[in-house]
Each structure stands twice: as C-alpha cells, then as structure tokens.
Amino acid sequence: MFDNPFTPLFGGRPGCFCGREGILRRFDRAMSDYGSDDRALFITGSRGYGKAALLEQLSMRARAQGRKVIDVGSDNPIGGIMRHLVPFDEATKTIDPEVEISVMGPGGSLRAGSSSKTVRYERDDFEYVFLNACLEDGFKLLVTIDEIQKVSLDGVSLISEAFQMASRKGCDAMIAIAGLPYAYEPIIQKNGCAFLRRASYEQLGPLSADEVREALEESFGSIKGTSLEKDALELLLRESKGHPYIMQLQGYYLIDNINEKVQKRSYRIEVKDVECAMPAVRKAYDSRALEPLVAAMSRSEVEYLHAMAGLLGEERTAETGAIAQKMGKSQKQLSTVRTNLVDNGIVGAPGRGKLAFIIPYLADYILRTEGDANSVVASALEWGM
C-alpha cells in the first residue's frame, strides 16, 4: 500500500501544500524587516483556493522562527486573543488575585486564583491588554484570523487600532487575516481600520500551470514506490483548473484507487489511472464544494448563473446584456444580483459588459442540476407522499 499524503479537507491543513511561494517568501523577509508592508497581510479568495491552508503555513513558519503565534477564527477573535495574552499563570504571577476576563457579546470569562480582588477586562480594554502584553513580555507576535467576513466591523476596528498602537510603540507584532472577496472593501473603508488599509492585499486565484505542475511532481515524487507518467501529469494539470482543493481530491482518489487494485511495491501512474479517478473527484467536488455554494445563493442568483452558463462562448465569457435579455429583465433590475455574484467571488468581469465564471466546473454544475430535486424530495415524490 502506498502512503497517501493528500488531504482534501476544507479549512484543514493539507499534507501537501501547493504554490503561493511568492507570498511565503515575502512573509519570511517581513519577519525580520520592520519596515515591510507584508507585516500585515489581508488575504481574500473564493472557497477552496487555500486561504486557511496559507494562514496555517504562515503560522508554522512564524513558530519555527520563535514567534508567539495566536490563531483565532471568526467566533469572538478579540476574546480568543485576550485569552492567549492573559493566561492563568501570568494573571496570578504578580498580584495573585482572582482574575476575570469578560468579553462582551459571544465569549465568556476566564478566572484564576482565589483571592478577594477581581480585575475585570471588558471588550473595550482589548487595546490596553494587547499593548501591555506586547510591551511587558517583549515577544515577537503573529496573529492570524480566518473568515474575517464573519467578524463585526467594530471588532475588526478594535483589532486594527490595537495593532496600530503596538506598531507605534515599536512592538514586533504581525497580523494575517483571510476572508471571502467581499470582505475587503467594507473593512478598509471602516473608520479605525487604517492599519489594515495599509496591509498587503493578496487575492488568491487559480495557481499557474507551472505551480500546479511543480506541486504535482513534488507531491507524487514524495510517495515511495510511485512514478507519474508525463501524459498523466498533464491530464491532472488540465482537470485541476489550478484549483488547490481539486488537486487534493485528485491526489487522494488517485492513490486510493491504486491502493485498492495494486499489490506491487512500485507503480507507474498512467492516463488510464487518472481517468478512472476523475469521476470520484468530480462527485466529491460537486457535493463538498459546489452543492453547498449554490445552496447558499438566492434563487435570483442561481437563475442569473443558469442564464449566464447557457450563453458562454468560446472565450468562456457571457455578455451582461445577453444575460438580461435571456431572463426577460433589464440590466438595471439585475445589477444587485450581478454585484453580489462578483463580490462573493463567484464570477468575475474580464471586460466591460462581460462576465466569466471563476469557480471551476460551476457552470456545468448549474446546467446539470437546475430544477433537480434532492434525493429525499425525489423519493417522496416517487412514492406519492
């Protein structure tokens, strides 16, 4: 049996990380360059393009350099950061009181000791707690926050202002945040977010062909006993569309299929093996990525995408005027729907009056599934319930 290093998990740390070498190199330099704009990173991208995986790479690299790293999600990041900065032992080290950190809104309290005095920190004390910890302990810090679009703008503002003050005081504090494409504009326009407004902005898209080829060669080359035929590599590259999550699915199902049928200790992967694995890859991608994506859309958005998918030409673009005409509406009536789809990273505008799908295989999925009932509903209708 061959080891399978591929881990197609949304939001998880992949066993094989693909691409983004330019961002990683700049981040490495920024850890020792106090003047670098890359000490604050604002990363956006559609689902599956590796935002969480990239944050984890930054976190791992920072830890390897001896930095204190605080990784938090979108559920009360302020409370999460404060809990890391005021742990039990530090709270009782000098004053030995009962200490409570209370964060308004979702969150809770943190207590230590059992004396008569209580020090209570509220949400608005975040900047004080953050700066005090950075100055007193003198550590090098990295904070990462995922799904930033789910954090309130007031919360993001508090975090930004705390980092602004820490920077002003000469603290070695770095931050990397990630979210869906529509998160960027509201945050940089928000009062109090000047620090993040100056952050390096990275919008993740498909990997380049060279990045995909290099990643596949490296990943399969790490599996003892296997080799990858050139034509098989090129087929994987074409079918991946440069999408990191699809690449993980390809590798996982390809090795899984080989392990089921091959007993030898060495195996050369051919085109037929890739072709055999691709149906499982597409099925998994449909159910794990595309189905939840479409289910979260409004009916009008799905209808717009269906009209658009039916109008794609050789260049894989559709005219906005033609979409409106097909739907029997004016472009003005559809402007909100179109803007939402662009802001959410579902479609992009390669030129004036033109749209293109930027989620792999979504156009095909929309055309295949439009009007289909799910399996439970279909069964109920079959039985005449």
Dihedral of the alpha carbons of 35, 37, 41, 42, in degrees to the nearest 10:
150
Say if strands 173-179 and 141-145 run parallel, antiparallel, or are unpaired. Answer: parallel
The answer to whether 65 and 31 are in contact (CB under 8 A) is yes
Cβ-based neighbours of 238, under 8 Å, separated by 6 or more: none
> Measured in whole angstroms, how far is the alpha carbon of residue 65 from the centre of its chain?
24
pLDDT by residue for the chain (385 residues), tens only, comes to 888 888 877 655 666 677 888 999 999 999 999 889 999 999 998 888 889 989 999 999 999 999 999 999 888 899 889 888 875 444 333 333 444 555 444 444 555 444 444 556 677 788 988 998 888 878 899 999 999 999 999 999 999 999 999 999 999 999 999 998 889 999 999 999 999 999 999 999 899 999 999 989 989 988 999 999 999 999 999 999 999 999 999 999 999 999 998 887 889 999 999 999 999 999 999 999 999 999 989 999 999 999 999 999 889 999 999 999 999 999 999 999 999 999 888 999 999 999 999 999 999 999 998 755 455 665 666 677 6
- Selection from 99, 96, 95 nearest residue 109 by Cα: 99
Cβ-based neighbours of 362, under 8 Å, separated by 6 or more: 290, 293, 294, 305, 309, 346
Q: Provide the 10 A C-beta neighbour count for residue 24.
A: 15
Cα–Cα distance between 232 and 272 in angstroms, integer? 8
The answer to whether 4 and 252 are in contact (CB under 8 A) is yes
In the chain, what is the greatest distance between 2 CA atoms, to the nearest angstrom? 75
Cα–Cα distance between 193 and 196 in angstroms, integer? 5
- Selection from 135, 154, 164, 172 nearest residue 76 by Cα: 154
Cβ-based neighbours of 205, under 8 Å, separated by 6 or more: 45, 49, 242, 358
**Is residue 192 left, alpha or beta, with left meaning phi > 0 and alpha meaning psi from -120 to 50?**
left
Amino acid at site 171: C
